[in-house]
Amino acid sequence: MKLHEYQSKELLSKYGVPVPQGDVTSDPAEARAIAEKLGGKVVVKAQVLMGGRGKAGGVKLFETAADAANFAKDLIGKRLVSNQNPQGMIVDKVLIAETVDIAKEFYVAVLLDRATQKLLVMLSVEGGMEIEEVAEKNPDAIVKLNVDPAWGLCDFELRKAVKDANLPKEAHSQMVSMIKQLVKAYIESDADMIEINPCALTPEGRLIAADAKVSIDDNALFRHKEYAGTTSDSAEHPIEAEAVKRGIAYVNLGGEVGIMGNGAGLVMQSLDEINAAGGKPANFLDVGGGAQAERVKACVELVMMDQNVKGLFINIFGGITRCDEVAKGVLQAFDELDVKIPVVARIEGTAAEEGRKILEGSRVIPAATVQAAAAKIVELAYA
C-alpha cells in the first residue's frame, strides 16, 4: 500500500528523520490557518498517489497565507490529470508545508533487492529527478549498499558509501544517521520501499526530507491498523481502489484485453500470451484459489469497470477452484452487466466439463489451449 506524502513524512518523523513542518487538511479555511502558523511562505501539495502531480498543477509555492488558501480551495475537489495517470484523481486533501531553501539535492532510498535477498540502500548526489533517468544517463552516480540481515549496517560501510557518493563533507554524518533511521523505519513498518527525493541540504548545512514516498507491504497491513480505511481512497487507480475493498488482487495495466485467471503464475502467463498474440493486457486479476461463484462475479465486474476493455480472456485451471463455480459466476455477472464485448475462455481441471456445459449457449467462446484462447480474443477485441 502506497502512503500519501503526509503519511510518509509522519512515519519518517517518528524515526527522527527531519521533515518540513506542515499539516494536511481538506478545508480551505484550515489551510489558511496552517499557512499563517507557518509564516505565510508555504508550499501547497495535492495529496494524490499519482506521478507528475507537480506538472499537473498540484504543487505550488506561495508567499502569503491568503494565496495559499485560495489555491487550496481551487485544488480540493479538483481532478488532477497527468501523463502517468490520464484518468486523473480527485484531490480530497492538501498538504500545507513550510518551504525549504535548497542548496543541494540528493536521492536516498531503502528497498528490497530480490537478487541478493537483502535490503538495498541507494544513494545519489543527483536528487530531484527520477532515479530511473539517473540510472540510464549516469549509472555511476548511484551508490548501492546491501544490508546484511545478520549483521545489519556498520558505520564504516555507511561512511564509505556516503564518501563514494561524493556528498559534501558537511552532510556526511547527517546522511549516515539518516540512512540508519530509514533502515530502522523500513524494517519496523514492514515497508517494501522508502524513498526520499529530494533529500535537501539547506544553505545552513541541514539535511531534510523535502519529499518522501513510503510503500507498506500489503501482507503486513494487519499489523498497521493506523492505515485501516485509507487504502481504498489512496489507490493510484479507481478500479484498484475498488479491488482493495473487495479483497481481490487486481492491477490496471492500461491495455484493451481484460484478463481473469486463478493463480498469479497462470495470470502472468496469460499476460505474456496476450502480448505474444499482438494485444495489450488491460489488467492483472487473480480470482484466488477456491473461488466461489459470487467472487468470480465480483471479478468480472471489476474488469468491466474499465471502459477501455474490448475483450475478456478467462484462463482457469481448476484445482481447489471448481470450474463450474467459475462458470456460474461468469454468467451471473453477464446477466447483471449486459456484457457486449467478446469473451474467450480456456477452462481445464476440476469440474471443467460441468463448467463448459454451463457456458454452452452463452457469449463465451471456448478454447482448447491458452495460446488458442489468447489469439482468438486478440483477433476479436481488435476487429
Q: How far apart are CA 219 and CA 132, in angstroms?
A: 27
pLDDT digits (tens, 9 = 90+) for 95-122: 999 999 999 999 999 999 989 889 999 9
The reported pLDDT for the residue numbered 141 is 87
Q: pLDDT at residue 383 above 60?
A: yes
Instruction: Determine the distance from the C-alpha atom of residue 84 to the mean position of all C-alpha atoms in its chain, rounded to a whole number.
Output: 12
Q: Residue 379 is placed in which grid cell?
A: 483477433
The reported pLDDT for the residue numbered 232 is 40
The reported pLDDT for the residue numbered 233 is 45
pLDDT digits (tens, 9 = 90+) for 121-130: 999 998 877 7
Out of 5, 6, 105, 107, the active site residue is: 107
Mean pLDDT of 71-92: 87
Q: What percent of the chain has pLDDT over 70?
A: 98
Instruction: Determine the distance from the C-alpha atom of residue 26 to the mean position of all C-alpha atoms in its chain, rounded to a whole number.
Output: 23
Banded model confidence at residue 234, pLDDT cuts 50, 70, 90: very low
The reported pLDDT for the residue numbered 88 is 80
Q: pLDDT at residue 277 above 60?
A: yes
Q: List the domains of the chain with CATH numbers.
A: 21-98 (3.30.1490.20), 104-226 (3.30.470.20), 237-381 (3.40.50.261)
The reported pLDDT for the residue numbered 25 is 96
pLDDT digits (tens, 9 = 90+) for 289-339: 888 999 999 999 999 999 999 999 999 999 999 999 999 999 999 989 988
Out of 105, 126, 195, 273, the active site residue is: 195
pLDDT digits (tens, 9 = 90+) for 206-223: 999 999 999 999 888 889
The reported pLDDT for the residue numbered 204 is 95
Banded model confidence at residue 55, pLDDT cuts 50, 70, 90: confident
Cα torsion at 313, 249, 241, 182 (round to 10°)? -140
The reported pLDDT for the residue numbered 235 is 52
pLDDT digits (tens, 9 = 90+) for 173-213: 999 999 999 999 999 999 999 999 999 999 999 999 999 99
Q: pLDDT at residue 228 above 80?
A: no
Catalytic residue flag (residue 6): no
pTM: 0.73
The reported pLDDT for the residue numbered 356 is 94
